[in-house]
Structure 1
């Protein structure tokens, strides 16, 4: 018994050093394997490893694509790494030449201009439009009572024109009786003028594809007018701002707009004594009225910026159009061989409200005259302030 006890004690004692040695070896082996894995980990391509979505957190990333002639390299970076990195390989997009507000976009994705071309809801976008897209735009401000006259007018404009109708009486679906209405753009806001509409819906970047823009009243007779022929004459005579010559059953306010038979275009006239201080300035030259103006794309960009948000009747605008082309007495004119009849139907004035014993017509008329005075003052003060600032800057630089 004594021998067995001694034996087992010796066996037990002799095993302990072996167990400790094995534990040490296992630890060092684990450390070595871990070290090797750690060294090799950065070389693994995470893009080729698929992890369950449940164990991969969602992280906001910024996508950058660097284009090179031979190949393109793509990097996906967390925003904080993008912002903090100063390395040449990391770029934050900022393009000052982009339109205001779009500086953070790559230039090739910026769509700064648009159009009124109608598109389908199916198929390929490239197949939406006809082979020959409309090159010009005509906009009428209309009430349903003048629908027959508008129908006659629009039939004078070919498929080369995009048609826009601004409905100031709120009636739009009634125009479905006309075939052309299906391809027209209809905008309806009650009791607004064409210049209110033009400022808000005819921004130069929206109508950028169109070479010429017609912004017409609804009470025009067009029996002697052809839009395509008109465009030819405008181009031939270099007119940036123009109108068809006018015949009227009533008196014509400005002599320059009256038709001169037997000629294609005129750009100046002799007015009543005292009306023109300079024969090259309005109303003797560089002048058209606002009932049927036609603008080139470039001139409209300037005129649009001159339109005031709160002055909706456009009175006084005709005297200021010359500021948008140079020389105005050469680039503003009246087309005589394509002429219209001004019917002078006071339909918009009926949209006013009777106030303080004044009729709706009187109220609208007074607002027109008030706006003319306000516009003249704003233009004069703006020019004086600008010239004063230029003079001051010039004196400071010398």
Structure 2
């Protein structure tokens, strides 16, 4: 029995020694193998969730961040970096807002005035449906006062001040509720491009962009809106008193109807009766745009061309069919008083009065705008031809 006992003890000692040696060798071998291969990230493995769930991944870091996730298929979701599951990337959001949850994105704004106190939801007792803007100088305040009174509380009043004088307008009660923007020696199209972005004026069904020298004795804004809706006009203007000043035949008031959309000009002036100046045409002194039409027109206004000359002939590009969607409202008409107030904001050059330089700039802008528009359209159609030829070649 004693010999068997010693034999058993020796065997156990030998087996223990072999196990220790084998274990040590395995550890060394594994260490060497680990040095020979790059780091393996568990987050890249498509392991069953039952294996991953007990693993603490909070200390596992990627060498490079994963790109924004744009795929939505189940197979793509399986390979998502687990660290990116709390990040937001929404390609359908407005540009620059992709990292925001859609519910917090405020893509549009308005001119509604807000209080400095109370609950935001209780700020507005009403929301005007229309916007009217005037580009004004203080010398024309009586005329603007008469004009503003023709617009009901359904209209937001916005004044663009080219002479820098704003506080003086508080002599009129309505001025305290109006919005005033002041930049010296600028035109209404300069203002419109910078302050009437389509996403700013989106709450308004119609946008009036008017001059300051308009007589409105025979005009009522609410009645005008009714006629615009009735005749489905996207771009319009009130008729002009035919016996006051120079104007196109298209924009002269007709006393026998509510609205007209076409006219006859001098022989040879209209190669196509559906094109300007015989149709699809209003002038730029008192235009009225639907929300949808203004979105297009705003993009067509050039940053450096501030007088708007030539724009009236191109408005038809923004509605279809233009000869039906553009018209003149005859029964709500105005008088163009032709006050050269903005012209006097220019500078005297070569001994000439300021308005001479302003008028020269207007004519130059007309030529530049027409050239740009023609060139842009020619380049587009040329690219379309090249694209079609490539398609047919393949």
TM range (shorter): 0.7 to 0.9
| Contact 2:238-2:330 within 8 A present in 1 as well | yes
**Distance 1:78-1:210 versus aligned 2 partners, 3 A rule:** farther
Alpha-carbon distance between aligned partners in 2 of 1:248 and 1:225, rounded to the nearest angstrom: 15
TM-score, scaled to structure 2:
0.79
Equivalent residue for 1:219?
A: 213
Alpha-carbon distance between aligned partners in 2 of 1:363 and 1:260, rounded to the nearest angstrom: 35
Tell me the C-alpha RMSD between the 2 structures.
Answer: 1.7
| Contact 1:249-1:343 within 8 A present in 2 as well | no
Matched, 1:112 2:115: no
**Aligned equivalent of 2:146, options 142, 152, 155:** 152
Matched, 1:93 2:88: yes
Equivalent residue for 1:310?
A: 304
Aligned residues: 321
Cα deviation for residue 78 of structure 1 reads 10
- Cα distance per residue 1:165-214 (max 9 Å; x no partner): 00000000000000101110000000000000000000000111000000
Equivalent residue for 2:380?
A: 386
Q: Unaligned 5+ residue runs, structure 2? A: 1-57, 67-79
Cα deviation for residue 83 of structure 1 reads 4.2
Cα deviation for residue 274 of structure 1 reads 1.2
Equivalent residue for 2:33?
A: none
Matched, 1:127 2:118: no
- Cα distance per residue 1:329-372 (max 9 Å; x no partner): 00000000000011011100000001123220100000000000
Alpha-carbon distance between aligned partners in 2 of 1:80 and 1:348, rounded to the nearest angstrom: 65
Alpha-carbon distance between aligned partners in 1 of 2:242 and 2:336, rounded to the nearest angstrom: 5
1:209 alignment partner, SS class: coil
| Contact 1:303-1:324 within 8 A present in 2 as well | yes
Equivalent residue for 2:248?
A: 254
**Aligned equivalent of 1:102, options 97, 105, 112:** 97
Cα deviation for residue 253 of structure 1 reads 2.5
- Cα distance per residue 1:104-137 (max 9 Å; x no partner): 111111100000000000000000001x310000
| Contact 1:241-1:295 within 8 A present in 2 as well | yes
Equivalent residue for 1:289?
A: 283
Equivalent residue for 1:337?
A: 331
Alpha-carbon distance between aligned partners in 1 of 2:243 and 2:168, rounded to the nearest angstrom: 30
Alpha-carbon distance between aligned partners in 2 of 1:80 and 1:114, rounded to the nearest angstrom: 41
TM-score, scaled to structure 1:
0.78
Alpha-carbon distance between aligned partners in 2 of 1:107 and 1:159, rounded to the nearest angstrom: 33
1:242 alignment partner, SS class: strand
Alpha-carbon distance between aligned partners in 2 of 1:320 and 1:190, rounded to the nearest angstrom: 28
2:333 alignment partner, SS class: strand
Q: Which runs of 4+ in 1 moved over 2 A?
A: 77-85, 248-253
Equivalent residue for 2:190?
A: 196
Cα deviation for residue 252 of structure 1 reads 2.8
- Cα distance per residue 1:78-109 (max 9 Å; x no partner): 99779467139814211111111111111111
| Contact 1:83-1:92 within 8 A present in 2 as well | no
1:99 alignment partner, SS class: coil
Alpha-carbon distance between aligned partners in 1 of 2:211 and 2:225, rounded to the nearest angstrom: 19
Cα deviation for residue 251 of structure 1 reads 3.3
Q: Unaligned 5+ residue runs, structure 1? A: 1-76
Alpha-carbon distance between aligned partners in 2 of 1:145 and 1:318, rounded to the nearest angstrom: 27
Equivalent residue for 2:26?
A: none
Equivalent residue for 2:317?
A: 323
Matched, 1:240 2:237: no
- Cα distance per residue 1:283-320 (max 9 Å; x no partner): 00000000000000000000000000000000000000
Alpha-carbon distance between aligned partners in 2 of 1:103 and 1:363, rounded to the nearest angstrom: 47
1:181 alignment partner, SS class: helix
**Aligned equivalent of 1:268, options 243, 262, 266:** 262
